[in-house]
């Protein structure tokens, strides 16, 4: 497993590696709090917990990953000897295989009972359409819900060679697509990629083309910049009428980068600990939702908890899942390395 020093030697930014872990963990926290609410959980101080989890980072977790994907796409395409065909082949296979595998696994967990109950042709046709849509994410949300993000990356990656030709003009279509957040959800339940995904991806490509390496330089220190962004996030959560619009998720993505840089520069021991989980972020991203769904079913069926106990349980669940999946990734890489490709695309 790479230490932060080894990551830097391999051309990776320690701050970005830490930011990936933070963003992935916050995604798990968000879905855990949604499960808490679906399990009958009540508001805390009049606020839905998932809104607090999302708001403190200004809903910038997924935009961060989309921007990061665009950044590395542009870096790959501008490498000497890299052809468009090779880039597309690498992306489509490296993302497409685990995308199909995890949707299939999620469907297997959700629909085993449905398979057993199908007894006639009409029902079989109906269920077959459901399962095909769930696996491919076409005509429906992917069966493993977070995989909509991977589906969108696959789609916009196919556009990356074309987007690269815009160069500095990428700013115009990127901001145009990002500036209409309502459009991001249009048709999402029908498996249509979100327009904002392309916008964030294009912005990431632009950041790489402009060679913007240290966003923390915008502030006196990364920690101060993160505190400022977090303060804006708290205002948006606790003060009615405070809405940063399309700039909010961009500031949220920036706050994640700033927090990663602050930890890398000021807390070396914590940076070492968190960076060890960086290679496991894809598995964490892909596997946490099926596990949360399975745990929620068990809690609903067998658990008898009060609201306070339920809140504590779902607050601790992201920590448990993160540790579990990081350990699982390390054990798979050590003992079953051939499983890495179908499960994570070789990550």
138-182 pLDDT, tens digit per residue, is: 878 888 888 999 999 999 999 899 888 887 777 777 877 777 655
pLDDT, tens digit, 9 for 90 and up, residues 292-342? 988 887 787 777 788 889 999 999 999 999 999 999 999 999 999 999 999
CA dist., res. 206 & res. 122, Å (int): 50
pLDDT in the model for residue 46: 84
pLDDT in the model for residue 172: 77
pLDDT in the model for residue 15: 87
pLDDT in the model for residue 125: 46
pLDDT, tens digit, 9 for 90 and up, residues 63-106? 999 999 999 999 999 998 889 999 999 999 999 999 999 999 98
CA dist., res. 203 & res. 197, Å (int): 10
CA dist., res. 155 & res. 153, Å (int): 5
Query: How large is the average pLDDT for residues 3-23?
Result: 69
pLDDT in the model for residue 23: 95
Enumerate the domain spans of the chain: 4-344
pLDDT in the model for residue 191: 73
pLDDT in the model for residue 5: 40
Instruction: Count how many Cα atoms sit within 13 Å of the Cα of residue 95 in the half-sphere of its side chain.
Output: 22
Mean pLDDT over all residues of the chain? 84
Q: How confident is the model at residue 239 (pLDDT cuts 50, 70, 90)?
A: confident
pLDDT in the model for residue 188: 63
CA dist., res. 179 & res. 256, Å (int): 20
pLDDT, tens digit, 9 for 90 and up, residues 109-136? 776 544 444 434 444 445 677 778 888 8
pLDDT in the model for residue 302: 74
| Percent over 70 (pLDDT), the chain | 86
- Contact between 137 and 147 under an 8 Å Cβ cutoff? The reply is yes
218 is written with which tokens? 């915008």
Instruction: Count how many Cα atoms sit within 13 Å of the Cα of residue 148 in the half-sphere of its side chain.
Output: 23
pLDDT in the model for residue 228: 92
Is 288's pLDDT higher than 80?
yes
pLDDT in the model for residue 157: 93
CA dist., res. 124 & res. 116, Å (int): 11
Query: How large is the average pLDDT for residues 23-50?
Result: 90
Helix (H, G, I), strand (E, B) or coil at 44: strand
pLDDT in the model for residue 186: 56
- Contact between 253 and 64 under an 8 Å Cβ cutoff? The reply is yes
Q: Where are the alpha helices (DSSP H) in the chain?
A: 4-9, 14-38, 49-56, 61-77, 84-117, 121-136, 147-164, 171-178, 195-209, 222-238, 247-266, 268-275, 281-302, 307-335, 340-344
Radius of gyration for the chain, computed over Cα atoms and rounded to the nearest angstrom: 20
Is 344's pLDDT higher than 90?
yes
pLDDT, tens digit, 9 for 90 and up, residues 184-201? 555 666 677 888 888 899
């Amino acid at each position: 497993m790479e230490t932060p020093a080894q990551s830097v030697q391999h051309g990776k930014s320690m701050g970005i590696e830490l930011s990936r872990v933070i963003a992935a963990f916050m995604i798990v926290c968000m879905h855990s709090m949604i499960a808490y609410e679906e399990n009958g959980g009540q508001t805390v101080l009049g606020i839905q917990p998932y809104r607090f989890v999302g708001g403190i980072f200004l809903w910038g977790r997924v935009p961060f990953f989309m921007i990061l994907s665009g950044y590395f796409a542009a870096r790959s395409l501008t490498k000497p000897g890299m052809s468009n065909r090779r880039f597309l082949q690498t992306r489509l296979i490296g993302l497409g295989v685990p995308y199909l595998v995890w949707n299939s696994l999620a469907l297997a967990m959700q629909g085993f009972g449905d398979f057993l109950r199908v007894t006639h042709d009409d029902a079989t046709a109906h269920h077959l359409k459901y399962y095909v849509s769930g696996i491919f994410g076409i005509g429906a949300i992917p069966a493993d819900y977070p995989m909509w993000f991977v589906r969108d990356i696959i789609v916009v990656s196919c556009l990356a060679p074309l987007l690269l030709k815009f160069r500095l003009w990428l700013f115009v279509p990127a901001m145009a697509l990002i500036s209409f957040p309502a459009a991001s959800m249009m048709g999402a339940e029908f498996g249509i990629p979100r327009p904002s995904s392309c916008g964030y991806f294009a912005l990431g490509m632009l950041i790489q083309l402009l060679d913007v390496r240290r966003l923390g330089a915008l502030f006196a220190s990364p920690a101060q910049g993160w505190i400022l962004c977090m303060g804006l996030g708290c205002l948006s959560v606790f003060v009615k009428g405070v809405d940063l619009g399309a700039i909010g998720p961009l500031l949220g993505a920036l706050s994640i980068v700033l927090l990663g840089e602050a930890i890398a520069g000021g807390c070396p021991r914590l940076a070492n600990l968190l960076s060890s989980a960086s290679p496991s972020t894809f598995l964490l991203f892909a596997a946490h939702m099926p596990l949360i769904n399975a745990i929620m079913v068990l809690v609903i069926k067998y658990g008898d908890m009060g609201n306070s106990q339920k809140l504590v349980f779902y607050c601790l669940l992201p920590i448990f899942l993160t540790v579990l999946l990081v350990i699982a990734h390390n054990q798979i890489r050590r003992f079953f390395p051939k499983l890495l490709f179908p499960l994570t695309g070789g990550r």
